[in-house]
Amino acid sequence: MSVGPLFLAFFQVLIAGLLVGAIYGLMCVGLGLIFGVMRVINFAQGDFLMLGMYFTFYVVSAFGVFSFLGPQAAPIAGALLAGPVLFAGGWILHRLLISRVTGTRAAAEREAGQAQLILTLGIALILENGALIVFGSTPTAVHTPLSWSAWMIPFFGGASSVLFVNKARAVACVVSVLIGAALYWFIGRTRLGKALRAAADNSEAALYMGIDVDRAHSVAFGIGTGITAIAGGLVATYYTFQPYVGFDFVIIMYAGVVLGGLGSILGAFWGGMTIGLVQQLATLVLPMQLQNAAIFVVFLLVVQLRPQGFFGRSAERV
């Protein structure tokens, strides 16, 4: 039995969509955590992604720190290490700068929102141009044998019809899902995770419970930064990047977070997944250049029909 080529192509892009979607999902989770807990529009999120990419590149390709793990596992280890390192970076950044315009200190000031926008935009510019000075403008990538190898899955028995699953993306997908699940558990089940959600819901009441809201925000900002950096490290195994790469992703991240429902971690993941699927499925019917246009058509449709996003709550009593 032979399967129509269109049918095969559909499953091929569906798989591609799921793989990319999981990584987009992880990026969105990082941003969604920061936005959900702190209500800060962070323009620098794409640049944290970029830092995760360069971190992985230098640790793995330039210095070969993990070369003992072999060429397959080293990039994954590098990307995972980017998490805690950029967690620390995000924590310090929040302590030194972001906390001046957010949280309890800013609660009394009406214009804090504008200060937040200017500050994160400034951080984004500094990170991008700093990266340009330090890393140079030459596009680069983390080389791994997985990037150009694929699993071939026989499809409906036909010898000629085979589905290709890129190994680098498949591994990145699995790691993304695992980290996303771990974060979901942390936010939902642990005491600190619940305190983060309480601080997000009502920071004043959280203070009355004895929750150090500024510290909770530092933790959330650090985790959000670290998660996005891991996603960056994973993307770097199959995507060429330069210091301005954050821009390619930051719009996708925001679209995913809004699509999933602001403030929902699970929603952010599915929002990112939806964008990955739409982006890949669109290639079936639209030219490559319109991939991202398709994302925003779907985005507008969803927001039109369900303004609160997939997992957002439409209304609640106060």
Partner 1 sequence: MLEIERLSVSYGGLSALREVSLRVGAGEFIALVGPNGAGKTTLFKAISGTVAPASGRIRYEGRDLVSAAPSERAHLGIAHVPEGRQVFPSLTVLENLEMGAYAAAGRGGLERSLERIFALFPMLADRRRQLAGTLSGGEQQMLAIGRGIASLPRLLMLDEPSMGLAPTVADLIFERIAELHRDGGLTVLLVEQRVAEALQSCDKGYVLETGRIVLEGPRQALLADDRVRRAYLGM
109 counts as binding partner 1 under rule CB under 8 A: no
Cβ pair 239, 141 in contact under 8 A: yes
Query: What is the nearest approach in angstroms of partner 1 to the Cβ of residue 211?
Result: 6
Which residue lies nearer to partner 1 by CB, 21 or 261?
261
Contact 252, 295 (CB under 8 A): yes
Q: Is residue 212 close enough to count as binding partner 1 by CB under 8 A? A: yes
> Under the criterion CB under 8 A, does residue 198 sit at the interface with partner 1?
yes
Which one of residues 111, 134, 287, 316 is an interface residue with partner 1 (CB under 8 A)? Answer: 316
Q: How far is the CB of 189 from partner 1 (least distance, A)?
A: 10
Q: Which two tokens stand for residue 201?
A: 């819901």
Name the token pair of 14: 């569906």
68 binds partner 1 (CB under 8 A): no
Considering the rule CB under 8 A, would residue 313 count as an interface residue with partner 1?
Answer: yes
In DSSP terms, which residues pair with 239 in a beta bridge? Answer: none
Which range binds partner 1 by CB under 8 A, 43-51, 68-76, 242-250, 310-318? 310-318
4 binds partner 1 (CB under 8 A): no
Q: Are 155 and 8 in contact (CB under 8 A)?
A: yes
Report the alpha-carbon distance of residue 259 to residue 190 in Å, rounded: 26
Q: Are strands 150-154 and 162-166 parallel, antiparallel or unpaired?
A: antiparallel
**Residues 69-94: b if buried by 16+ CB within 10 A, e if exposed:** eeeeebbbbbbbbbbebbbebbbebb
- The beta strands (E) that lie in the chain are given as 150-154, 162-166
Residue 314 binds partner 1, judged by CB under 8 A: no
Interacting span for partner 1 (CB under 8 A) from 54-62, 73-81, 139-147, 204-212 = 204-212
- Contact between 202 and partner 1 by CB under 8 A: the answer reads yes
* One residue of 1, 6, 138, 210 binding partner 1 per CB under 8 A: 210
- Site for partner 1, rule CB under 8 A: 104, 107, 191, 194-195, 197-198, 200-202, 204-213, 215, 263, 313, 316-318
